[in-house]
Amino acid sequence: MTSFNDLGLNQALLTAITAGKYTQPTPIQAQAIPPVLQGRDLLGIAQTGTGKTAAFALPILHRLAAGNRRPAPKTCRALILSPTRELASQIAEKFRSYGHDSKLSVATVFGGVGMNPQVQALARGVDVLVATPGRLMDHMQQGTLRLDAVETVVLDEADQMLDLGFVHAIKRISQALPKQRQSLFFSATMPQNIAQLAAGFLKDPVRVEVTPAATTVERIDQQVIFIEAERKRALLLEIMANPDITRALVFTRTKHGADRVARHLAGGNVPAAAIHGNKSQSQRERALADFKAGRIRVLVATDIAARGIDVTGVSHVVNFELPNVPESYVHRIGRTARAGKDGMAISLCSQDERAYLRDIEKVTRQRIAATDRRGDEKLAAATAAEPRHESRPQQQRPHGQNRNNPRGNGQRHGGPRSEGGRSDGQRQQRQGQGHGQRSHGGGQRSGQQAKATTH
């Protein structure tokens, strides 16, 4: 069996890995690290929770240390693009942890915070820069950062980038990068539009696919409860009375819905907080810190935050509202059953969400057990007369709405709109939570499934 010692990493990184109590590489790490060390471009298809951050962070740190040179002012040597602030912060934290003894500098650039500290960090030059596309574009336009010295660029969560309307920003950033560079591209799904973006981003890449796209973690017990929409909040309080729910993530489709659910839980003596794009960066960081420390038991989040939450010990995920993009369901419930532990995902499904449930079951190729609020499988027979996999009726979109711009504001790819990285010059208050482009590239395929071990 492959060990980290077999991968060719330098001793400083091996020491950091040992200090982190990691014993064996996950499948994506074992397959990705050697070609990245060789300088090859890489296309990685992997979900969050498979250890993919270490799969690119470790070889990048190795190559930067071997290069033994300082970055020039206003430049970076490695650039990692992330769709959300939380994910950018977590990636940077991993780089700092693994590279503790290497003396390589790491900085983050994202929206929601002041520009001046970022400008000061970039003025000195940094080895590793983790950024959201919108704020990165701000620095490029203001002349506080140039990308002509980038040696390695990573596009992480590419499908989420496109869902958030970042495609034009990514193309402009790509044009500012040097022709001779190493490019790494990671996506949980690989529909046609993602494949086209990868083709223009990579040169003769090594393809690594260790987790079939749009499959759910085997250790997660999945249940669905059918209930009227107006009774969901009362039922959620009943569910949270279960002492086995030690740390729970609750997902809603809208920002205002997340706030309402968090207030309802707090009013029922369940410590809870909401996290979404309308919150300030300090509010988001405080909510995550309280959740990690156990000061609150429930964190209510929107889909955009789903891929940026990396918290160990989440015992339950509750879909207060089912997502209208079935792949988002996979990312949501992937927050539990991490690091080899078991987990449970409970979905509350109202009558108008049954089409979403059918789509989820089609993409994941599994039927989710119907239960009552006590967890008994009594509803399966009661709902058997309502087939879940019938053809979904064509839904009408509001005027001006398209697949890449679901808010219907008449704008096609209207620039970066990430809650963590949209351009400060384009920032505006928006009502509701947007949903991204839906991919049809999911479906379970044969192949090795990575265990949900976080590195």
Residue 404 banded pLDDT, cuts 50, 70, 90: very low
Tokens of 192: 């046609």
Q: What is the rounded average pLDDT of the residues 238-264?
A: 94
Rounded to an integer, what distance in angstroms lies between the CA atom of residue 284 and that of residue 82? 17
Query: Which pLDDT does position 455 carry in this prediction?
Result: 38
Sign of CA dihedral 422, 424, 425, 426: positive
- Report the predicted TM-score, pTM, of the whole model to 2 decimal places: 0.66
Q: Which residue reads 């049954």 in tokens?
A: 354
Residue 356 has pLDDT above 90, yes or no: yes
Q: Poorest-confidence range of 68-82, 197-211, 269-283, 424-438?
A: 424-438
Q: What is the rounded average pLDDT of the residues 138-149?
A: 97
Tokens of 280: 């300030």
Q: Poorest-confidence range of 19-33, 96-110, 213-227, 236-250?
A: 213-227
Rounded to an integer, what distance in angstroms lies between the CA atom of residue 426 and that of residue 157? 23
Largest CA distance in the chain: 68
Burial of 371: CB neighbours in 10 Å, binned 0-12, 13-18, 19+:
middle
Helix (H, G, I), strand (E, B) or coil at 402: strand
User: Among 376, 51, 412, 430, which Cα is nearest to 211's?
Assistant: 51
CATH fourth-level superfamily of 220-383: P-loop containing nucleotide triphosphate hydrolases (3.40.50.300)
Residue 285 banded pLDDT, cuts 50, 70, 90: confident
DSSP 425: G
Write the CB contacts of 50 (distance below 8 Å, at least 6 apart in sequence). 26, 27, 28, 210, 211, 450, 451, 452, 453
Could you tell me the residue ranges of all domains in the chain? 4-209, 220-383
Pick 134 or 394 by higher pLDDT: 134
Given this chain, do its domains 4-209 and 220-383 carry the same CATH topology? yes
pLDDT in tens, 66-91: 988 899 999 999 999 998 888 899 89
Q: Poorest-confidence range of 108-112, 211-215, 247-251, 384-388?
A: 384-388
In terms of CATH architecture, what is 4-209?
3-Layer(aba) Sandwich (3.40)
Q: What is the mean pLDDT of the chain?
A: 81
DSSP per residue, 192-233: HHHHHHHHHH-SSPEEEE-S-TT---TTEEEEEEE--GGGHH
Query: Which pLDDT does position 93 carry in this prediction?
Result: 93
Residue 426 banded pLDDT, cuts 50, 70, 90: very low
Residue 308 banded pLDDT, cuts 50, 70, 90: low
Q: What is the rounded average pLDDT of the residues 401-423?
A: 39
